[in-house]
Amino acid sequence: MTSHRIRTLLIGLVALAAAFAAPAYAERRVALVIGNNDYRNVPRLQKAVNDARTMSDALKQLGFNVLFAENQTRQAFSETMLAFDKIVEPGDTAFFFFAGHGFEINGQNYLLPTDIAAVTQGQEELIRDGAFAAERVISRLQARGARTSIFVFDACRNNPFEATGTRALGGSGGLAPISPPEGVFVIFSAGAKQTALDRLNDNDPNPNSVFTRSFVRELAQPGLNLVQIAKRTQSDVRQMTAAASRMQTPAYYDQIVGDFVLRPAKDGDRAIAVEPQVQVAALPVQPAPPIVIDNGNAPIASFMRHNGGWSIAFSIADPTLAISWRLGESGEFKETGFTDALDPRTRRRMPNPSIELPNDAPAATIQVRYVDPTGQMQGPFPIKFDPEAALIASHRKLLDMTSNSWLAFGGYSGPLVYYSQILSYRCAIREMRIGIDTTVPNQVVKIPPCNPRDPSAIPENAASYMKIPASTRSVSVELTYQDGSLSEIKNFRR
């Protein structure tokens, strides 16, 4: 390499370092933006890269230093994530945007790289091995100490494996609801189990997807907090898609304490105009040096409330020989024991991945540690237990798992529609609407308040059904969750 090229490279590296060290806003803002169009084994996409480019420009105008990548294979995705890991520092505001194919398996969401295999029924493990779990991306960024993390997944498109006859893997498409940790804001381009439109109709000339064109416009408005941006995007997208005889409602999940405004309003302030980028080439991502990915990922916990108390299940990426835990920062660790199953990865009994807590357990930090296959102790890893938030999240998960049973028909002296299934998990619900012989729920149904002491019990004086006209042929239902996001509209036929 010539001395001139070396000087040029050094100048570029110094400029890049200076950019990340001196943002235009008071807090340090960093972002990773990825767009995947060129899938090799599943249907290609048309607008994901355009969406990523438009989002990159919008974030730069908001003071973010943006790492941009497009058409990422699994290896390239890993290297890009490692490069971003090196940029994020404690106290940062971090933004992650992914446009491309996403897929849900048993409640877990996966972001698909461009070289994902075209699987057939029964090969779900190939997706897990070849894709990136959205929840892992979130926990990985949180582990870097970001103060505020914003995740935007425009990955709710049609089932990419449908063409290979694998509809049973995940239905028609869409992502599953998510329960982010504190300090995290997540927005999906479509609601749970919904699919997102790239275009409104065959004559739609806009180079961006329906979601991205709306989200970027609201993102540029001064003085709006994240919830306001999400709600305005919901309204925009819903109105546009309804006019096209489709229904798409972005979903958001807010665990940020207080208001967070990306662009504070000033006197005489105007919205930033962000034009869609079509032909402009993206700057190439500088390849990260080869680094062995750390497999010591922090465990993820899922909380489930039942009559006897709390069941807390730990998900650990590594094979484990033993798991132990304690409440708080002091005291002895307790072993979880073992199940009667063998782990094929270790050829030993599988450690019990769950623990039980009483129903009146207070908010606390659970310290979890595990022994890896080499005999080394990993951790402890802190997991926040917030009973109120966990109760809402667990009820929402149960509602999503039982959505086909939300309503039931019956009655002897006259037709009735029962919604006791919804009432059993009402702690996650802010409002319930139904529609008689219409696909647009237009009646508010009164539901009793949540009782944290006995959350699944339906009060004796609460109505769990309503009378419907004898001519009724169908009933639709839509739930507004506690965080303001909307469920998929479910239709039930008599």
How many structural domains are present in the chain? 3
CB 349 within 8 A of CB 341: yes
Residues 132 and 196 in one domain: yes
Domain final residue pick, 216, 237, 263: 263
In a domain, 489, yes or no: yes
Residues 168 and 218 in one domain: yes
Residues 234 and 371 in one domain: no
Residues 110 and 57 in one domain: yes
pLDDT, one tens digit per residue, over 33-74 is 999 999 998 888 889 999 999 999 999 999 999 999 999 998
Residues 327 and 418 in one domain: no
Dihedral of alpha carbons 262, 213, 488, 174, sign: negative
Residues 247 and 306 in one domain: no
CATH number, domain containing residue 464: 2.60.40
CATH number, domain containing residue 223: 3.40.50.1460
Residues 319 and 456 in one domain: no
Dihedral of alpha carbons 222, 224, 225, 228, sign: negative
Tell me what pLDDT residue 416 has.
92
In a domain, 14, yes or no: no
pLDDT, one tens digit per residue, over 329-372 is 889 999 999 999 888 888 899 999 999 999 889 999 999 999 98
Tell me what pLDDT residue 104 has.
82
- Contacts of residues 343-350 at CB distance under 8 Å and 24 or more positions apart, as own/partner, are 343/319, 345/319, 345/373, 346/319, 346/320, 346/321, 346/373, 348/321
The one-character DSSP state at 12 is: H
Residues 405 and 456 in one domain: yes
Tell me what pLDDT residue 218 has.
94
Residues 92 and 227 in one domain: yes
- The answer for residues whose C-beta is within 8 angstroms of residue 274's C-beta and 6 or more apart is 54, 57, 58, 61, 216, 217, 219, 220
CB 46 within 8 A of CB 208: no
CA distances from 68 to 16, 57, 122, 133, 188 (A): 13, 10, 35, 20, 20
In a domain, 279, yes or no: no
Domain final residue pick, 263, 291, 308: 263
In a domain, 291, yes or no: no
Q: How far is Cα 431 from Cα 482, in angstroms, rounded to an integer?
A: 8
CB 87 within 8 A of CB 20: yes
- The answer for residues whose C-beta is within 8 angstroms of residue 485's C-beta and 6 or more apart is 191, 251, 252, 253
**pLDDT of 274 above 90:** no
Q: Which region among 39-48, 178-187, 404-413, 477-486 has the lowest average model confidence (pLDDT)?
A: 477-486
Count Cβ atoms within 10 A of the Cβ of residue 48 and give its class: 0-12 exposed, 13-18 middle, 19 or more buried: buried
Range(s) of the domain holding residue 213: 29-263
One-letter identity of residue 439? T
Residues 82 and 184 in one domain: yes
**pLDDT of 20 above 50:** no
In a domain, 336, yes or no: yes
As a whole number, mean pLDDT of residues 116-143 equals 78
32 or 291, higher pLDDT: 32
Tell me what pLDDT residue 123 has.
64
Domain final residue pick, 263, 290, 317: 263
Q: How far is Cα 22 from Cα 24, in angstroms, rounded to an integer?
A: 7
In a domain, 24, yes or no: no
Q: Which region among 111-115, 236-240, 257-261, 294-298 has the lowest average model confidence (pLDDT)?
A: 294-298
113 cis-preceded (ω within 30 degrees of 0) = no
- Averaged pLDDT score across all residues of the chain: 81
Picking from 257, 266, 202, 196, the residue whose alpha carbon sits closest to that of residue 226 is 257
- The answer for residues whose C-beta is within 8 angstroms of residue 59's C-beta and 6 or more apart is 29, 31, 33, 66, 95, 97
pLDDT, one tens digit per residue, over 184-230 is 999 999 886 677 777 777 777 888 988 999 999 999 999 999 999 99
Q: How far is Cα 117 from Cα 208, in angstroms, rounded to an integer?
A: 26
Picking from 131, 31, 134, 135, the residue whose alpha carbon sits closest to that of residue 84 is 31
Count Cβ atoms within 10 A of the Cβ of residue 259 and give its class: 0-12 exposed, 13-18 middle, 19 or more buried: exposed
Name the pLDDT band for 311 (thresholds 50, 70, 90). very high
**pLDDT of 266 above 90:** no
pTM score, whole prediction: 0.53
Tell me what pLDDT residue 193 has.
65
In a domain, 9, yes or no: no
In a domain, 333, yes or no: yes
pLDDT, one tens digit per residue, over 387-404 is 998 999 889 888 888 888
Tell me what pLDDT residue 18 has.
41
Residues 365 and 414 in one domain: no
Residues 59 and 114 in one domain: yes
